[in-house]
Amino acid sequence: MLDGRDILLDAGPLVAALDPADQWHAMAAGPMHALSHRCLTTEAVIVEATHIAGGARGDYARVLEFVISAGIPVFALHLPMHQQCVHLMRRYADVPMDYADATLVALADRLRLRHVFTLDRKGFRTYRGARGIPLEIVPLS
């Protein structure tokens, strides 16, 4: 069951939480375990995180194993949401907005979510979905 307080999970904190050597590890790992609401993400974010986290070590399964063990729901988008992603990526090309970020904004619109756990503060401070409401970044500090 979805809850409007659920938190969208971006690739940055996911990668950082899995890598103790990552400069953002302490900021990502602690809050991810302490979040009071469920994280959810998109297939595109999983692909991005898998590429980043698996590239150096060649352990491409690690991200997906973590997501499965943590019970993080992973959403696939349907055609209208992909069309919204195209619109968003063109609209925010100067920021820029990649496909994974666009899927999170589209999913936020679809599920009426307001929070995103991301390290991409510049992008997500700028992005607005169809309703024009900004997402609140977690962690706030």
Q: List, for residues 2-30, the tens digit of each pLDDT value.
A: 555 799 999 999 988 888 777 777 677 66
What domains appear along the chain, each with residue ranges and CATH number? 7-138 (3.40.50.1010)
Query: What's the CA gap between 92 and 35, in Å, rounded?
Result: 29
pLDDT digits (tens, 9 = 90+) for 50-103: 998 877 667 889 899 989 998 999 999 999 999 999 999 999 999 999 999 999
Q: Output the pTM of the full model.
A: 0.89
Cβ burial of 13 (10 Å; 0-12, 13-18, 19+) is buried
Residue 16 amino acid letter: A
pLDDT at 24: 76
- Strand partners for 75: 42
pLDDT per residue as tens digits for the range 127-136: 998 888 889 9
Rounded-to-integer distance, Cα 108 and Cα 76, Å: 13
At 132, which amino acid appears?
A: G
How high is the pLDDT of residue 4?
Answer: 58
